[in-house]
Amino acid sequence: MNSIIDPYFLMEIFLKLLGYIPMTLGLAITSMVLASILGLFMLIIRMKKIPVLSKLAELYVLFGRALPTMIILYIVFFALPIALMIFAEKTGQKIEINQVPAVVFAVIGLTIHTGAYLTEVFRAAVQSVDKGQMEAAYSIGMTWWQGFYRIIFRQASVFAMPLMANQFLNLIKSTSIAFMITVMELFGAANVICADNNRYLEVYIVVAFIYWGMSVLFEKLFLVAEHKLAVFKKGSNL
């Protein structure tokens, strides 16, 4: 090794790693979509104050936010097979646990983690909507669902959007933890390359720059989207 950093080698790793971006983004996007659904579900449970369930939802948010992503991922990774085994035993069905790809565990873990944060984001967003809006919806004869969907949800989305974007940026970074449960995403692939040639410095520089690039790109993208959205908020000092 003559020079510390070999530019040709950097290029070579870069091209190799580019192929793993879809996996990383796929993980992030899938988990984001599922977490949004989960968060919305939790939000409605809490808004409608459904007994028991709403307490459970609170507990979920508490733990989901207090636990490191890594630990949630590990617990899912080790608990889910056991749950499946118990399920298989109880129902007599055959489930090949080994056939469940690690990606599934990663998506579930990341969804649980992000979902807890999104529940709080959604709650804050709904609280940001003036109470009178739901009253007005009721006053013209709408049901709770109609008022929630047509009025509250849409106004709250505008508030939630930047926070969700932020959550997504965090999620992209969190996907790197998935390599620890053997998922072959960007960082996992980088580590495999390292194992082959022991050139940590170059590989990790390249992988860091790829993540950095993605973050900056998505940040810019969300900023543009935010400006396009929220016509009804333009000029208002809300």
Partner 1 sequence: MSSYFSVDYMIKAFPTLLSYIDVTIIVTIVAELFGIVIGCVVAFLRIHKVKVLNQVCLLYLSFIRGTPFLVQLYLVCFGLPQLLQGLGYQDIRSIPGLLFVFLIMSIHTGAYIAEIMRSSILAVDKGQLEAAHSIGMSTYQAYIRIILPQAFQLAIPALGNNVISTLKGTSLIFNVGVVDMLRKADLMGSYSYRHLELYVDIAIIYVLLCFVIQVATYFLERRSTLGKELAS
Partner 2 sequence: MITFKNIHKSFGDNEVLKGINASVPTGSVTVILGPSGSGKTTLLRSINFLEKADRGEIILDDLHIDVEKVTKQEIHEIRQRTAMVFQSYNLFKNKTALENIMEGLIVVKKISKAEAKEKAIIFLEKVGLGSKGDFYAHQLSGGQQQRVGIARALALNPDVILFDEPTSALDPELVGEVLEVMKKIAQEVNCTMIVVTHEIGFAREVADHVIFMDGGVIVEEGTPEQVLGAPKNERTKQFLARYVSFTEYNI
21 vs 127, 162, 172, CA distance in Å? 37, 23, 10
| Spatial distance between the Cα atoms of 67 and 115, rounded to a whole number of angstroms | 13
Among 139, 216, 225, 226, binds partner 2 (CB under 8 A): 139
Nearest to 162 by CA among 218, 107, 234, 235: 218
Minimum CB distance to partner 2 smaller for 129 or for 171? 129
Q: Does position 133 bind partner 1 by CB under 8 A?
A: no
Q: Does position 231 bind partner 2 by CB under 8 A?
A: yes
Q: Does position 223 bind partner 1 by CB under 8 A?
A: no
The pair of structure tokens assigned to 128 is 């940001």
3-class state of residue 90 by DSSP: helix
Among 215, 222, 229, 230, binds partner 1 (CB under 8 A): 215
| Spatial distance between the Cα atoms of 63 and 60, rounded to a whole number of angstroms | 5
Minimum distance of partner 1 from residue 206's CB (angstroms): 10
Instruction: Give yes or no for a contact between 182 and 232, defined as CB atoms under 8 angstroms apart.
Output: no
Minimum CB distance to partner 1 smaller for 14 or for 74? 74
Among 11, 33, 37, 208, binds partner 1 (CB under 8 A): 208
Pick what 68 binds: partner 2, partner 1, none; C-beta below 5 to 8 Å, kind-dependent: partner 1
| Spatial distance between the Cα atoms of 194 and 201, rounded to a whole number of angstroms | 9
Residues of this chain that interact with partner 1 (CB under 8 A) are 1, 3-4, 63, 66-71, 74-75, 78-79, 82, 85-86, 173-177, 180, 187, 191, 194, 199-201, 204-205, 207-208, 211-212, 215-216, 219
